[in-house]
Amino acid sequence: MGPAAADHASRQFRPATPHSRIPASPDAQSPLDKPVQFVRGVGPHRARLLSKIGINTVGDLLEYFPFRHEHQRRPQSIDSLVLDANATVIGIVDSVRSNLTRHGGPSVTLRLSDGTGTVRVAWFNAPYLRDRFHRGQVLRIHGQVGEFEALAQFVNPTVEQLDPQADPKTWDFERVVPIYKATASLSTTHIARIVDNALKETLNSIDETLPETLRKRRQLIGRREAIWRMHRPDNPEQVIEARRRLAYDELFAMQLAIALQRRWTATGAKAPRLPVTPEIDQRIRRRFPFPLTAAQNRVIAEICADLARDRPMTRLLQGDVGSGKTVVALYAALTAIANKTQCAILAPTEVLAAQHFAGIERYLAGSRVERCLLTGNTPRSQRDRLLESVAKGTTNLVVGTQALLEKTVEFADLGLVIVDEQHKFGVSQRAIMRSKKTRSRHGAASLLPHYLVMTATPIPRTLSMTVFGDLDISTIDSSPPGRQPIHTKIVRPKEEAEAWLAVRHRIREGDQAYVVYPLVEESDELDLKAATAEVDRVARDLLPGSRVGLLHGRMKNAEKQTVMREFAAGRLDALVCTTVIEVGVDVPNATVMVVQHADRYGLAALHQLRGRVGRGSKASICLLMTDSPSQLANERLEILCRTTDGFRIAEEDLRLRGPGELLGTRQHGWPEFRVANLVEDTEILMQARDDAARLVREDPNLKNPLHARLKAELRRRFRDKVAFISVG
Ligand code: ADP
Ligand code: MG
């Protein structure tokens, strides 16, 4: 969401350290690496179908775990069925009928009796079942108990034909059936059968990856057993144990990679020492027209401790919108500059870079710090001149967009890189910027700059430990004094007129308003009121007599900046905009925010948007307009009405929508988890992190033969991502 930074994923990746952090696997090709076609029952055709769902090797197949398990309990008598419960029954077919339903689809209905009663069993849209059933068959049925015309009924249940000659005692068992994510041409049963064959043929090749001590400490079952049990459990408890082991494996591998990376940064990489003397501290603080808050002082102390060391800082600074991160970042920047090094500040968009620059200018008025704004928009002639003074070292502070990442930009002595809103960047940007080396002042080996990331999307702990796991974290947990509350309200279509009345009232009082739309142009697929189409309507009908401006992502940068300037100067009453304003914009007189189609945004994004108001001395209002009937959508919006605590909101968003939504669609660099779940497996994650730290402390290069398997496993898991692990 929002003004996406150009995706540089395709940019050539240049790790700062060699790939050899994780040494090459010593062993020959394992049966698990063989093409999936080697499995019995998989020919070239099936292999192609499997490849479409990411299964290329036997190992991939064995790690294609069921996405859920159906627990079929022991059969019960028909007269004991309870409505809505899941149940298994066994009975004899009394009658079979196949019909067309009212909607025209084929259906198959049967009656099944077991001596205690009769049930009705129906399948809809299952023409292939029509010829499968006949009177006298013995069937085992599993599904949810419904009711139809006074009979218990199963609709679309799982069915299995039993041998009528068999001893009925052999039918009396419970069972857990794995359900695989199927495709149109590969049913879950197909997949189960293929997996069965693969398990039979290669289970013995699955090695234990965890050292014995670790497995004991965490009471984890063996890897071979876990994989087997995940696919073929006898009971639900086995699924739980298997999941726990496999989730641990994924989280542990990731935490181990992170720990190795951190250790390398801590021991292998050098950075310039940038200490703060009391004199520097006083000089910097004089720049701010207010005393810093306790929270700001605490994180500044954390940052300064890092800067004073000769190891590169890699720190994430997180704080809610308006918590005062910019001031902290500027403190760090001025520290670097006071130590005669340069500082670069990167923002995800031109608008934000320009605003950062303008904001910093306010604090630096009259200072001798040489500073410049450098974006993709900077005219060629000017750009060349700026680049030259950056390269010569006459420029102390550069604010810019990712244009700064370009190879042509060289720094004389880059001491500190500050990246705002990191999660909008790809991981590769992080790597490139961090690989911008700088000369040592003694002319010796090159030094890495210190590195500070700022984010205003509070990141729940589980995510920061993974996606940003290679960073230390500082959190500003309270806002500067005098912040006014924001009253947030959900507005339904029938309340809209009244809401606009309130907006008009505010504007008459001299306040300003944002009116936010999800898209820039009308789209055929989505019936959205787009900003461009709506600006007239807002000006004419909703806010008559007001001065209304338009700001959206497809405008030219110069235009955008003009509009922002007009709005900031109070020459516009309302700004119709897209999420261009999502981050960083600071207009204290804006006290009203109207969000159209609020249900289409992520909670974290809405919270960011809302942070654009409530910056002045007056209480603000945020009106979330929605016509969504979805209960989930409404539940989510209500969270925003209840709390302004960004961390609470982020956690709820993570719980309700998963990590993808919170982080945006941008690739975050880590492989997806197959089993682990960042919402539910927090405890396992903590254990994995502690264990990884301990292991790296004891055996930093994984030299111990007991760790050889683990090392091989890391290589396998991070095949394509090893470069990322080893980025300095
Ligand atoms: P963030 O970047 O975290 O969203 P900013 O650094 O932009 O927050 O600060 C938000 C507002 O609070 C700015 O207008 C800034 O001038 C003000 N501010 C920051 N720190 C303090 C402070 N210690 N006391 C008073 N106001 C502050
Ligand atoms: Mg800011």
CA distance 344 to 337: 10
3-state SS string for 75-128? CCCHHHCCCCCEEEEEEEEEEEEEEECCCCCEEEEEEEECCCCEEEEEEECCHH
- Residues with Cβ within 8 Å of 265's Cβ and at least 6 positions away in sequence, in order, are 311, 312, 314, 470, 728
**Residues lying with their CB under 5 A of ligand 2, a single-atom ion:** 326, 584
**Residue 298 token pair:** 């605490």
664 in contact with ligand 1, CB cutoff 6 A: no
First to last CA, the chain: 29
- pLDDT at 467 (0 to 100): 64
Phi, psi values for residue 514, rounded to 5°: -105, 140
Q: How far is the CA of 324 from the centre of ligand 2 (A)?
A: 7
CA distance 144 to 71: 12
- Protein residue whose Cα sits closest to atom 23 of ligand 1: 292
Cβ–Cβ < 8 Å for 515, 596 = yes
The three-state secondary structure class of 614 is: coil
CA distance 293 to 536: 43
Q: Which residues pair with 139 in a beta bridge?
A: 91, 161
CA distance 410 to 383: 13
Cβ–Cβ < 8 Å for 576, 515 = yes
CA distance 242 to 44: 31
Cβ–Cβ < 8 Å for 560, 351 = yes
- pLDDT at 184 (0 to 100): 79
- pLDDT at 669 (0 to 100): 47
Select from 227, 243, 239 the least CA-distant residue to 195.
Answer: 227
The low-confidence residues of the chain, meaning pLDDT below 50, are: 1-27, 425-429, 439-444, 522, 524-528, 582-584, 662-669, 720-728
Nearest bound ligand to CA 456?
1
pLDDT in tens, 424-460: 544 444 555 555 555 444 444 578 889 898 887 777 7
Q: How far is the CA of 322 from the centre of ligand 1 (A)?
A: 6
586 in contact with ligand 1, CB cutoff 6 A: yes
- Protein residue whose Cα sits closest to atom 25 of ligand 1: 480
Cβ–Cβ < 8 Å for 654, 629 = no
CA distance 458 to 477: 10
Cβ–Cβ < 8 Å for 32, 58 = yes
Nearest bound ligand to CA 317?
1
Q: How far is the CA of 378 from the centre of ligand 1 (A)?
A: 28
Q: Which of 327, 483, 585 to mutate to test the pocket of ligand 1 (most atoms within 8 A of CB)?
A: 327
Q: If residue 336 lies in a helix (H) or strand (E), which one and from where to where? A: helix 325-338
Q: For the chain, how big is the Rg over CA atoms in Å?
A: 31
- pLDDT at 15 (0 to 100): 30
How many other CB atoms are found less than 10 A from the CB of residue 151?
A: 14
Q: How far is the CA of 321 from the centre of ligand 2 (A)?
A: 7
- pLDDT at 423 (0 to 100): 52
- pLDDT at 534 (0 to 100): 72
617 in contact with ligand 1, CB cutoff 6 A: no
292 in contact with ligand 1, CB cutoff 6 A: yes
- pLDDT at 351 (0 to 100): 74
CA distance 691 to 509: 60
Which residue has 């004891």 as its token pair? 698
- pLDDT at 529 (0 to 100): 52
Q: What is the Cα 632 distance to its own chain's centre? A: 19
- pLDDT at 192 (0 to 100): 93
pLDDT in tens, 595-652: 988 988 878 778 888 888 887 888 999 999 999 888 888 888 999 999 888 878 877 7
CA distance 121 to 89: 11
Nearest bound ligand to CA 327?
1
- State how far the alpha carbon of 143 is from the alpha carbons of 59, 82, 157, 635, in Å: 32, 12, 5, 30
Which residue has 């290669």 as its token pair? 202
Cβ–Cβ < 8 Å for 193, 178 = no
User: What is the per-residue burial (b if ≥16 Cβ within 10 Å, else e) of 20-38?
Assistant: ebbeebeeeebebebebbe
The three-state secondary structure class of 316 is: strand
> pTM for the full model?
0.66
How many other CB atoms are found less than 10 A from the CB of residue 498?
A: 9
**Residue 636 token pair:** 């989510």
CA distance 548 to 538: 8
Indicate which atom in ligand 1 lies nearest the CA of residue 326.
6
Percent of the chain as helix, strand, coil, to the nearest 5: 40, 20, 40
- pLDDT at 112 (0 to 100): 96
Q: Which residues pair with 636 in a beta bridge?
A: none
